[in-house]
């Protein structure tokens, strides 16, 4: 994991404000402007860590998926820092680190919950399972 962090840090993509729980349930349209709310998981980190749904939503055809188009559009916003091929390399490196980032975040969130609420929060095992499914591991 340290090696992956070091490799990802070699790219010129700056750390930025990360929402931490970015999905359409935390976005509203008001007066023709988007409002992003529920910033309880926010931090300064790698910007790709907010793209958990793009990394981990299952799709049947990854080559012609709307998620691939969305990923490419998202990455195009970072082309002032790196070329598209390098952004795609960084994207692949970021996937397991994204899962780890969310697992660590939810470990801390769960630790602060009352006992009854801890039983209802099962996010940590989910994120750890996603981490273990990543195919970048080289033992």
Q: What is the pLDDT of residue 137?
A: 54
Q: What pLDDT, on a 0 to 100 scale, did the predictor assign at position 58?
A: 66
pLDDT tens, residue by residue, 5-55: 999 999 999 999 999 988 889 999 999 999 999 998 899 999 999 998 878
What radius of gyration do the chain's Cα atoms show? 16
Phi, psi (5° rounding) for residue 35?
-115, 120
Which pLDDT score, from 0 to 100, does residue 53 have?
80
| Tens digit of each residue's pLDDT (9 = 90 or more) over 22-34 | 888 999 999 999 9
Separation of alpha carbons 108 and 31, rounded Å? 36
- Quick check: 51 and 98 in contact, CB under 8 A? yes
- What pLDDT is recorded for position 62? 58
Residues above pLDDT 90, as percent of the chain: 56
Rounded-to-integer distance, Cα 65 and Cα 83, Å: 22
Mean pLDDT across 84-112: 92
Tokens linked to 95:
């996937």
């Amino acid at each position: 994991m340290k090696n992956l962090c070091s490799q990802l840090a070699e790219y010129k993509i700056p750390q930025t404000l990360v929402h931490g729980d970015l999905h359409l349930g935390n976005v509203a349209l008001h007066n023709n402007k988007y409002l992003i709310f529920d910033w309880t998981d926010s931090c300064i980190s790698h910007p790709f860590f907010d793209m958990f749904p793009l990394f981990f939503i299952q799709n049947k055809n990854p080559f012609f998926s709307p998620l691939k188009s969305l990923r490419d559009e998202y990455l195009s916003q970072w082309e002032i820092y790196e070329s598209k091929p390098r952004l795609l390399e960084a994207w692949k490196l970021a996937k397991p680190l994204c899962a780890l980032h969310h697992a660590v975040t939810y470990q801390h969130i769960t630790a602060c919950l009352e006992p009854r609420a801890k039983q209802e929060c099962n996010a940590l095992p989910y994120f750890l399972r996603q981490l273990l499914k990543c195919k970048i591991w080289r033992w």
